[in-house]
Amino acid sequence: MESAPSSKPTVAVAIPAYNEADGISGFLVEIDRALTPHVESLRLVVVDDASTDSTPAVLRDLAGSLNATLEVISNPVNRGHGPTLLTAYREALRTEPDFVLQVDGDGQFHGSDLRRVLVLLLDEAHAVSGVRRFRQDPWFRMAMTRLVRNYVNFGFGVRARDPNCPLRGYDAGLLADLLDALPGECLVPNLYMTVIASRSGVALLEVDVSHRVRRGGSTEGTTWKRGARSPVPMRLVRFSLGALRESWALRDSLRLIAPRRPGAAGSPLGSGRR
């Protein structure tokens, strides 16, 4: 007598990481414990962006202690968050899971909120995006989020409370379509996917999630660390200007995707599930 097929989903989590040796181990253990009881199989796909600390060694030591499968990919040179995230997404799709979740390796979320995102996907949502409540970030990053929200609203006609939030989940078929619609090595893929999904009539379900200080010894990390004489990290300023130029150049092509009702016939991205 054949056993009944499992009703639990297969899930992959795409995780870009850079210099997260202090906190990533505990964060991945938390994700593992939160998701494993609810899935048939779980892959944690970490793409290390040429970290200069002991992140790769920490990940190697952790691999055998998880219920999930931990896959680590190392960029040979530092490529930045956007290209690293795209690599993580594409590698997460490689084994054709049912759903792909995404979170950054700095551990500013709780494993329980990834489980909430998964539950919403199982309840027929095709795309879910977190909205960070009570942000635990420096003032300049919170100000940047407000500016981005207004820019997406007025520049692209898309209303989203936290359009670039790095906690989200997708039906795998929809994610593959969204990635195909993106330009190559772009700087802010999550932001563009919010715009493309929304303008294509795909309902992007927003859910409030908790936010916490970055795990590890430094609450700022090394990516956007301020200099001794600057109240705002100059690296963040340069990145923001580059992202603005890139998104402005793409604005006309993205706006060619005319807004459609969620689920409308002929949506460029289809219905999501395959």
Q: Average of pLDDT values for 68-82?
A: 96
* Count of residues making up the chain: 274
Examine the pLDDT at 259 and tell me if it is beyond 50: no
Supply φ then ψ for residue 62, to 5 degrees: -80, -30
User: What is the token pair recorded at 268?
Assistant: 């460029």
Query: Alpha-carbon dihedral of residues 79, 82, 85, 89, nearest 10 degrees?
Result: -120
Looking at residue 96, what DSSP letter applies?
A: -
Q: Average of pLDDT values for 196-217?
A: 84
Higher pLDDT, 232 or 173: 173
* Amino acid 3: pLDDT: 53
Q: What's this model's pTM, rounded to 2 decimal places? A: 0.85
Of residues 221, 227, 219, 177, the one with CA closest to residue 201? 177
Instruction: Write out pLDDT tens, residues 85-116.
Output: 999 999 999 999 999 999 999 988 999 999 99
Q: Average of pLDDT values for 173-193?
A: 92
Q: Average of pLDDT values for 207-211?
A: 89
Residues 6+ apart with CB under 8 A from 56: 48, 72, 74
User: 99 vs 125, 170, 217, CA distance in Å?
Assistant: 11, 6, 32
Q: How many CB atoms lie within 10 A of CB 186?
A: 19
* Amino acid 56: pLDDT: 95
Structural domains in the chain, CATH included, are 10-255 (3.90.550.10)
Cβ burial, residue 184 (10 Å; 0-12/13-18/19+): exposed
Query: Alpha-carbon dihedral of residues 114, 63, 73, 190, nearest 10 degrees?
Result: 10
Least confident of 81-95, 134-148, 181-195: 134-148
Residue 240's DSSP bridge partners are none
CB 206 within 8 Å of CB 161: yes
pLDDT-based confidence at residue 149 (cuts at 50, 70, 90): confident
Q: Average of pLDDT values for 14-29?
A: 95
pLDDT-based confidence at residue 144 (cuts at 50, 70, 90): confident
* Amino acid 215: pLDDT: 72
Distance from C-alpha of 84 to C-alpha of 94, rounded to nearest angstrom: 16
Least confident of 95-104, 169-178, 184-193, 212-221: 212-221
Examine the pLDDT at 180 and tell me if it is beyond 90: yes
pLDDT-based confidence at residue 82 (cuts at 50, 70, 90): very high
Examine the pLDDT at 152 and tell me if it is beyond 60: yes
Distance from C-alpha of 234 to C-alpha of 180, rounded to nearest angstrom: 32
pLDDT-based confidence at residue 174 (cuts at 50, 70, 90): very high
Residue 14's DSSP bridge partners are 45, 102
Examine the pLDDT at 266 and tell me if it is beyond 60: no
